[in-house]
Amino acid sequence: MMRTRPLKVALLGCGVVGSEVARIMTTHAADLAARIGAPVELAGVAVRRAGRPRPGVPEHLVTTDATELVKRGDIDVVVEVIGGIEPARGLILSAFEHGASVVSANKALLAQDGAALHAAAVGAGVDLYYEAAVAGAIPLIRPLRESLAGDKVNRVLGIVNGTTNFILDKMDSSGAGYSEALEEATALGYAEADPTADVEGFDAAAKAAILAGIAFHTRVTAAEVYREGITEVTAADIRSAKEMGCVVKLLAICERARDGRSVTARVHPAMIPLSHPLASVREAYNAVFVEAEAAGRLMFYGPGAGGSPTASAVLGDLVAVCRNKIAEATGPGESAYTELPARPMGDVVTRYHVSLDVADRAGVLAQVATVFAEHGVSIDTVRQQGRDGDASLVVVTHRATDAALSATVDKLRALDSVRDVASIMRVEGE
């Protein structure tokens, strides 16, 4: 029962992902048609600069006028792989107004304006799908939104940025410092020329916002996600983690509060035990743990970026929205009915690894321990090592709020006997 009129697709952006989407649409046209129930046709490709060679993209389809392409009126689906806020947002809204469904890989935009975009899609009676926005090819949005729709997700914990995982993995395996590992990542193409979005955690924070919203059926924006990057992680931190049987990973963690009335979302480096499945996620791979009430602990693993994996996710969405178009239906849209507020970082409860440089004299440990006790932060283990009159003191705490730990650290800094708070790192995954 194949429909013969093809569905027309406008592709916005023809970089690493876009060109791969175009290539697969051509080479796998028969498969896509069979799976959709109608042929799909690439009806136009909007690019920033004309005249470049684009193998596999017919010259006559290329335009520099994305606005005009979206408004043409015969477009069934717009695939947006431009990235960034504008002009992507305006183009998506215009696509909706002209009756087109949208498949997007734009995490920054969705993490900032997801609510408005979803509302616009609903208003227009079309779909907005974005599996490719989080963790590349790894099916994550659809499992969270559909497979777990009958369950209650309590926690999402994952490695969602390949660049930083590559850098931390390199530091762990070679003992290299941050700068050296970043250099290698850049040379190998794992880090961009300006790596800020990755290494400062902005990319992971956008993904955390999207995941938290879907997992908890609420709305979380990137601005509400606590964010710490990996630029301050030192070779000494990695060594310290090893001594504890841990490894350092940049984690995105979304949690439902124990009372069920709020959620938290955060991105920061953390030590996790080697026995945790996320510890063995190497190089630029991504993996996400999901803890749900009935399902238990699930993990999803795969390549989190790259042209082909991201194109795979885009095309999976393309098949789904095309099928919906033919059925004159829409898929599951935003589900934000719980309206759970996002709470600040101070409310987050976890464990901490605190490394102090202290004077090597009697009574210092007692002083330090007292400060922890005064703030209700219970100490799990202490390791002290003398060093030329100074000593290093590593304290690992039991679970405490971030606010209590921060207050503890402020007080420690004020102690005469504490020369420096060398590092503070959270301990997760236990």
Q: Which residues are catalytic?
A: 207
> Which window, 196-204, 234-242, 313-321, 381-389, contacts a copy of itself (CB under 8 A)?
313-321
Among residues 71, 152, 155, 343, the one that binds a copy of itself under rule CB under 8 A: 152
Q: Which residues from 229-258 bind a copy of itself, rule CB under 8 A?
A: none
Task: Return d(Cα 145, Cα 158) in angstroms, integer.
Answer: 17
The pair of three-digit structure tokens given for residue 280, joined into one six-digit string: 């063995």
**Cα 317 from chain centre:** 19
Is 19 annotated among the ligand-binding residues?
yes
- Window 253-292: contact mask with a copy of itself (x via CB under 8 A): ------------------------x--x-----------x
**Count of alpha carbons within 13 Å of 61, Cβ hemisphere only?**
20
Q: How far is the CB of 317 from a copy of itself (least distance, A)?
A: 8
Contact of 164 with 232, CB cutoff 8 Å: no
Q: Specify the residue, 27 or 67, whose C-beta has the smaller distance to a copy of itself.
A: 27
- 304 closest CA partner among 321, 283, 328, 289: 283
> Which residue among 3, 34, 370, 374 contacts a copy of itself (CB under 8 A)?
34
> 300, 143 in Cβ contact below 8 A?
yes
Minimum separation from the CB atom of position 110 to a copy of itself (A):
17
254 annotated binding-site participant: no
Say how far apart CA 339 and CA 60 lie, in whole Å.
47
Q: Which stretch binds a copy of itself (CB under 8 A): 203-211, 224-232, 251-259, 307-315?
A: 307-315
State how far Cα 106 lies from the chain centre: 12
325 touching a copy of itself, by CB under 8 A: no
The binder of a copy of itself chosen from 301, 364, 424, 426 (CB under 8 A): 301
Q: Which is nearer to a copy of itself, 35 or 72 (CB)?
A: 35
For a copy of itself, which is the closer residue by CB, 233 or 281?
Answer: 281
Burial class from Cβ neighbours inside 10 Å (0-12, 13-18, 19+) for residue 39 reads middle
Part of the chain binding a copy of itself (CB under 8 A), chosen from 84-92, 163-171, 316-324, 379-387: 316-324
Instruction: Please say whether the beta carbons of 226 and 265 come within 8 A.
Output: yes
- By CB under 8 A, the residues from 57 to 116 that bind a copy of itself are none
Compute the least distance from the CB of residue 318 to a copy of itself, in Å.
Answer: 6
Q: Residues in contact with a copy of itself, total (CB under 8 A)?
A: 58
In total, the chain counts a number of residues equal to 430
Which of residues 316, 365, 369, 384 is near a copy of itself by CB under 8 A? 316
Q: Is 213 annotated as a binding residue?
A: no
Name the phi and psi angles at 89, rounded to 5: -60, -50
Kindly state whether residue 303 participates in binding a copy of itself, applying the rule CB under 8 A.
yes
Tokens 């009697």 correspond to 362
* Residue 202: CA count within 13 A, CB half-sphere: 10
Give DSSP secondary structure letters for 80-105. Answer: E---SSTTHHHHHHHHHHTT-EEEE-
Per rule CB under 8 A, is residue 334 in the interface with a copy of itself? no
Rule CB under 8 A: say whether 24 interacts with a copy of itself.
Answer: yes
Q: Which residues pair with 397 in a beta bridge?
A: 379
The radius of gyration of the chain's CA atoms, rounded to the nearest angstrom, is: 24
Tell me 147's DSSP state. I
- The CA-based angle 352-216-108, given to 5 degrees, is 80
Q: Which residues bind a copy of itself (CB under 8 A)?
A: 20, 24, 28, 31-32, 34-35, 131, 137-139, 142-143, 146-152, 217, 277, 280, 292-303, 306, 308-309, 311-320, 323-324, 327-330, 332, 335, 337-338
Q: Which residues are annotated as a binding site?
A: 12-19, 107, 192
